[in-house]
């Protein structure tokens, strides 16, 4: 299976390389695509990685084109791994009808409801299959952190909370903090996971934090002029549960910033320095 790994693009940037790969994914039962930025240090030996989980409608490209992240990855010697946001190349009923569900909107869950359950297993893909595929074959240490934006911010926090010790650190930009309690999440979870709302809690940051005895320190940035803030993102629920349960949360409200990659780019350097510190220890 892993023999199918094929590099389909290579561009030089900031002294390193942006490589694009395709491979046959077992988790998603389709061909998947991802991008990876290898900093110059990777030419000398394997380096740790930051996995970046993108938001609704994105592919493996958006982050690597718009975040400016490579500048800091190059300085700090951290690889950037950017998976796609859903299975591709399929044609499931309704899969391409909405921008907030189906293709481009995998929500980083392992679907249990048909027809999604055969392919939409993005949690398994980004946490297990992708690292196992590339660490060792590419110059990447088995040492990783995770971050993401919006749907991917939700994905990053959930991936870290469900898999203790798998990531050295976790952060998020404008995450969907409580998908069981917002329209985007309710639409996605009812389709991917079915009508039993109890089962949804396994992919809800706030619910996981409510049950957790301990949790990794969370670094979250959120723009105050984000048009999705009140209805979809709800960082106040994250704040509430962390306060109640004594979990370490640094939530930074950024005056005047919106939901775009202009916001992500503005604060990515700080996040990567946070992760680089954790990856070095």
Q: Which residues bind a second copy (CB under 8 A)?
A: 11-15, 18, 65-66, 68, 70-71, 223, 225, 256-258, 260-263, 265-266, 269
Q: Residue 102 or residue 223: which is nearer to a second copy going by CB?
A: 223
Alpha carbon distance 170, 160 (integer Å): 7
Return the exposure string of 257-277: e unless at least 16 CB atoms fall within 10 Å of the residue's CB, then b.
bbbebebbbbbbeebbebbbe
Q: Residue 14 or residue 181: which is nearer to a second copy going by CB?
A: 14
Alpha carbon distance 68, 85 (integer Å): 20
CA separation (Å) from 212 to 26, 158, 207, 229, 236? 30, 12, 9, 25, 18
Closest approach of Cβ 67 to a second copy, in Å?
A: 8
Q: Is 103 a catalytic residue?
A: no
Q: Residue 67 or residue 191: which is nearer to a second copy going by CB?
A: 67
Q: Is 259 a catalytic residue?
A: yes
Q: Which entry of 74, 221, 226, 271 is annotated as an active-site residue?
A: 226
- Give the containing element (helix H, strand E) for 83: strand 79-83
Closest approach of Cβ 74 to a second copy, in Å?
A: 9
Structure-token pair, residue 231: 């209805």
Angle between helices 69-76 and 261-280 (to 10 degrees): 10
Q: Residue 68 or residue 194: which is nearer to a second copy going by CB?
A: 68
Q: Is 258 a catalytic residue?
A: no
Closest approach of Cβ 224 to a second copy, in Å?
A: 10
Q: Which entry of 123, 154, 259, 275 is annotated as an active-site residue?
A: 259
Q: Which residues are catalytic?
A: 150, 226, 259
């Amino acid at each position: 299976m892993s023999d199918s790994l094929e590099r389909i693009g290579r561009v030089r940037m900031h002294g390193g390389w942006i490589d694009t790969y395709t491979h046959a994914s077992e988790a998603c039962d389709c061909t998947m695509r991802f991008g990876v930025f290898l900093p110059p240090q990777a030419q000398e030996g394997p380096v740790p990685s930051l996995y970046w989980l993108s938001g609704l409608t994105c592919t493996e490209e958006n982050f690597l084109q718009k975040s400016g992240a490579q500048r800091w990855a190059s300085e700090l010697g951290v690889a950037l791994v950017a998976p796609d946001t859903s299975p591709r190349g399929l044609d499931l009923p309704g899969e391409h009808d909405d921008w907030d569900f189906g293709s481009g909107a995998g929500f980083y869950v392992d679907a249990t409801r048909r027809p999604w359950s055969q392919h939409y297993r993005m949690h398994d893909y980004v946490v297990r299959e992708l690292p196992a595929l590339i660490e060792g074959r590419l110059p990447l240490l088995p040492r990783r952190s995770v971050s993401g934006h919006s749907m991917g911010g939700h994905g990053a926090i959930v991936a870290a909370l469900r898999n203790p010790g798998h990531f050295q650190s976790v952060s998020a930009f404008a995450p969907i903090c409580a998908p069981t309690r917002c329209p985007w999440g309710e639409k996605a979870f009812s389709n991917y996971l079915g009508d039993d709302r109890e089962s949804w809690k396994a992919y809800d940051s706030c619910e996981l934090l409510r049950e957790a005895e301990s949790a990794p320190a969370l670094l979250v940035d959120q723009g105050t002029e984000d048009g999705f803030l009140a209805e979809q993102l709800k960082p106040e629920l994250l704040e509430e549960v962390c306060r109640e349960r004594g979990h370490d949360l640094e939530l930074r409200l950024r005056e005047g910033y919106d939901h775009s990659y202009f916001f992500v780019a503005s604060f990515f350097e700080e996040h990567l320095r946070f992760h680089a510190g954790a990856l070095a220890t």
